[in-house]
Each structure stands twice: as structure tokens, then as C-alpha cells.
Amino acid sequence: MSYQTLFIISTLLIIGCSSEPQQKTKAILKPKVKIEVPTFNADSAYAFVAKQVSFGPRVISSKGWENCAIWLEKKFKTYTSTVILQQAPINTYDGKNHTLKNIIASFSPEKNNRVALFAHWDSRHIADHDTKNQNKPILGANGSKWSWSANRISKTIQY
């Protein structure tokens, strides 16, 4: 191959590979949406936990468990009209038969993108990690904070 041919090919490659100034694209900025965050109300939080604990131990099928379920269902109905009580028979490890209850509150069921929030509202039949009262039912105040959270969020997102 001659130098002249090599020169022509090299020139064509350089011209073909050269880049023209590219257009600068402007970033499209979406307006910032201000998110309203509800303020934490310690008195309200305490009242919810105190109410739930006032039913006593909420061991499945107990009077405290039943009364708390009724209260939670009524409370959720003050936030939304779509409240479902889901019940199912269950046989526990000790051979006893019970009816399991889930209380489901739905907000804006017509929407595709929603949040699922789950919380325990019942308590254990024994305090197996307690150092003094291992064979007694517990009030379950630590679980109540989750039910309070579900109630507070429900109140915040109500339609």
C-alpha cells in the first residue's frame, strides 16, 4: 500500500470520527412538592397505648382480646369506611381451637400504588422472657405502640 493511499484512508477516518459540538440538554426540574409531616403528639400516643393496655392481656379468645378487637374495628371505622374483619379457625400448639382475627382498614382501594401496614394488637399468653412471671400473660404494651402507629397513620391518611 502506498503512502498516498494510507494518507487518504487516515484522513477519511479522522474526518469520519470527528465529533461535532453536541447540543446541551437542559435538565427538566420538577417543582418540589412540600410534604406535610404530622407532628408527633405524645399525649395521643400515650392515650392509644393506655387504651389498648386497659383491656388487660389480649390473649387470643380472651375477653380483653375480644374487647380490644371491637374497639380497634370501631376506631378504624372513624378513619375509613372500608374496614374488614377477617376471621379464620385455628388450632394452637396446645390443642385448643380459636378464631383468629385480622382487622383490615383500607384507604383509597381504587388506587394502584398504596402502602401496606401491619401491626400486632394481641399479646402473648405467657411472659417466657420475664425473670419473675414467666407463666403469666403479659399486657403487651410494647406491641401496643405498633397498633398506635397504625391508628395514627390511618388518621393521617384518611380520605
Give tens-digit pLDDT for 83-122.
999 999 999 888 999 999 999 988 888 888 887 777 778 8
Judge whether residue 79 has pLDDT over 60: yes
pLDDT at 140: 73
At 154, the pLDDT band (50, 70, 90 cuts) reads: low
* Candidate ranges 16-25, 69-78, 121-130; pick with highest mean pLDDT: 69-78
Report how far residue 94's alpha carbon sits from residue 155's, in angstroms, rounded to the nearest whole number.
38
Greatest extent of the chain over all pairs of C-alpha atoms, in Å: 102
What DSSP state is assigned to residue 116?
Answer: -
Judge whether residue 158 has pLDDT over 70: no
Judge whether residue 125 has pLDDT over 60: yes
How many residues in total does the chain contain? 159
Just give the CATH number of 42-157.
Answer: 3.40.630.10
pLDDT at 109: 85
pTM over 0.85: no
Cβ-proximal residues to 148 (8 Å cutoff; 6+ apart), any chain: 45, 48, 49, 52
Name the 3-class secondary structure at 155. helix
Report how far residue 84's alpha carbon sits from residue 7's, in angstroms, rounded to the nearest whole number.
82
Judge whether residue 10 has pLDDT over 70: no
Report how far residue 1's alpha carbon sits from residue 57's, in angstroms, rounded to the nearest whole number.
96
